[in-house]
Structure 1
């Protein structure tokens, strides 16, 4: 075999190896996002908590701190149980699915840290107005999660969901100290978390 033939054979093998590795990478990235059901329940449960907070603020429910804590910790605890069960029932099988799960885990941690921070500010300053920051901050974090999901998955419509979150945040800010802010936040959660989550969940099962 001539030297030229050997070089051509080596180049052919190299091209085959590159094509094989590319196919593996594409196969690893293929597949639906796996966070749909979790986001569906997040929107529903925390939307219900927001409605409960609204009823408390207008006097339908007793205006006591323990009632508010019961609403939020109750819904938060139930969501935690559901999230754990969902994570155990299915595992991400693609690189994109795994990355998406990591993104939303980070968003969840960011939400928890933001809530604790605002609560500590209220405790330290005795200014309950700071609570009005919670809804806008959290909806921004949802927007960040959706934007990253859109970039990783190539699902352009998720960018519209993310932009919806970014537009909703200042609107919620304008409603600071108004009971209606909680109703608006509940609507945002259903529209910008539950609905996209449901669509992704259906795509996952398809």
Structure 2
């Protein structure tokens, strides 16, 4: 290999490295999706808490309907947010594509787990399986934040990942108590709504 060829390879590597670094500095998108998740599912968790505490009357499969409606509302909001984010600068950067794939995995896993729980509840005629739902969600959120933190290099997101993983077994101690659903709502605010608002605020004015 001649000196010119070696230099050409070095130039190509330097160019690819610059592209990667530029993509890493792209503003993180998807904050509005997290805000929607925190609001919709947080509200559903509060309604579930109120029903479990006897404040409102929801019986049996009414809880399945409650969460099913919440998922439908969130899915509609998700489609709107995705369409808007696709038009923004930086949407096709490596950090946003990888982060988006990670959170999409979290969302699909949540949906599939919910359907699986419905099947188990239907076949066993017991709803106890849904008591693991908050712990599973926090565990999945931890994975989503870990991917986002790794790709973006933003260390504060690692705190969210670790916090979500810690919250998963802790909330299990509230199993059987209406407070579990109140704690779940608080966790959604802490690990979805608030950080989602932070991400939205971090977007440059020209991106918003």
Number of aligned residues: 201
Hey, what's the Cα distance between the residues in 2 that align with 1:125 and 1:67?
17
Give how far 1:121 is off.
1.8
Q: TM-score, normalization: structure 1?
A: 0.90
Give how far 1:71 is off.
2.6
Structure 2, unaligned runs of 5 or more: none
Give the conservation status (yes or no) of the 8 Å contact 1:30–1:94: no
Structure 1, unaligned runs of 5 or more: 1-5
Q: Tell me the equivalent position of 2:199.
A: 200
Hey, what's the Cα distance between the residues in 2 that align with 1:16 and 1:104?
34
Hey, what's the Cα distance between the residues in 1 that align with 2:194 and 2:25?
23
Q: Tell me the equivalent position of 2:154.
A: 155
Give how far 1:29 is off.
3.4
Hey, what's the Cα distance between the residues in 1 that align with 2:95 and 2:27?
8
Q: Indicate the SS of the match to 1:90.
A: helix
Hey, what's the Cα distance between the residues in 1 that align with 2:106 and 2:127?
25
Q: Tell me the equivalent position of 2:122.
A: 123
Q: Indicate the SS of the match to 1:205.
A: coil
Task: Mark the structure with the bigger radius of gyration.
Answer: 1
- Alignment of 1:107 with 2:106, yes or no, is yes
**CA distance 1:10–1:120, change in 2 (3 Å):** closer
Q: Tell me the equivalent position of 1:74.
A: 69
Q: What is the root-mean-square deviation of aligned Cα atoms in Å? A: 1.8
Give how far 1:122 is off.
1.9
Q: Tell me the equivalent position of 2:138.
A: 139
Give the conservation status (yes or no) of the 8 Å contact 1:44–1:194: yes
Q: 2:46 aligns with which of 51, 72, 77?
A: 51
Give how far 1:192 is off.
0.9
